[in-house]
């Protein structure tokens, strides 16, 4: 198992209750277990996203965590984020690179070796695959297996982010099979038994 290594790629809740959220985020990042924080707000316009993103950027910087913006390279640039994450319908890596020079660009590849190879060919800095387990954060169209993770590790040295229903009970199997980062959201923000900091501390 990995020790003293930041292997959690934390994704924001779909709705942010500002004052409570900023405080919780700061406490979670202070655990020193988070490598990346992805701001994923589908229903905000550009100005709202940039306003929230700048506050989060400050919290991320203070805790040495990379800030990634979901979908929107332009918002990422205006926020001064470390990069952006593209879904399969969010435009090309090439266009994102024109806006975000020398920044991190990751791509969702679902459960497809074909999509992984395409993203790598186009210059993705990391790839995300899943869903590995059932999740309520978003509708699960694609199911991924450990076998896919092992195949992906054979074709690239780029970091692989695994996603989908990951929690304190099922995460170890993914790390043991060499996933670089665990993308987690609902387990932290929608946990009925634990507050966000307690939830993160269970993943060791």
Instruction: Name the pLDDT band for 137 (thresholds 50, 70, 90).
Output: low
Q: Which residues of 82-119 are buried (b: 16+ CB within 10 A; e: fewer)?
A: bbbbbeeebeebeebeebbeebbbbbbbbbeeebbebb
Instruction: Name the pLDDT band for 138 (thresholds 50, 70, 90).
Output: low
At 117 the pLDDT is 98
User: Cβ distance 200 to 33 under 8 Å?
Assistant: yes
* 5 or 60, higher pLDDT: 60
Cis ω for the linkage preceding 81 (within 30 of 0):
no
**Tokens 């699960």, residue located:** 140
Model confidence pLDDT, tens digit, residues 107-133: 999 999 999 999 999 999 999 999 999
Domains and CATH numbers, the chain: 8-201 (3.20.20.70)
């Amino acid at each position: 198992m990995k020790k003293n290594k930041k292997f959690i790629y934390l994704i924001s809740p779909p709705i942010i209750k500002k004052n409570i959220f900023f405080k919780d985020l700061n406490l979670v990042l202070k655990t020193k277990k988070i490598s990346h924080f992805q701001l994923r707000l589908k229903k905000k316009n550009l100005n709202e996203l940039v306003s929230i993103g700048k506050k989060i950027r400050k919290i991320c910087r203070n805790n040495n965590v990379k800030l990634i913006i979901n979908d929107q390279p332009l918002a990422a640039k205006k926020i001064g984020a470390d990069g952006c994450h593209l879904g399969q319908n969010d435009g090309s890596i090439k266009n994102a690179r024109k806006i975000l020079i020398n920044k991190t660009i990751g791509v969702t590849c679902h459960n497809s070796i074909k999509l992984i190879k395409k993203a790598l060919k186009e210059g993705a800095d990391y790839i995300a695959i899943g869903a590995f387990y059932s999740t309520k954060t978003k509708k699960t169209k694609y199911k991924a297996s450990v076998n896919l993770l092992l195949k992906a590790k054979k074709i690239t040295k780029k970091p692989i982010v695994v996603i989908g229903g990951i929690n304190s009970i099922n995460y170890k199997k993914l790390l043991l099979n060499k996933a670089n980062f665990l993308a987690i959201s609902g387990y932290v923000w929608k946990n009925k038994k634990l507050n966000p900091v307690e939830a993160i501390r269970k993943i060791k």
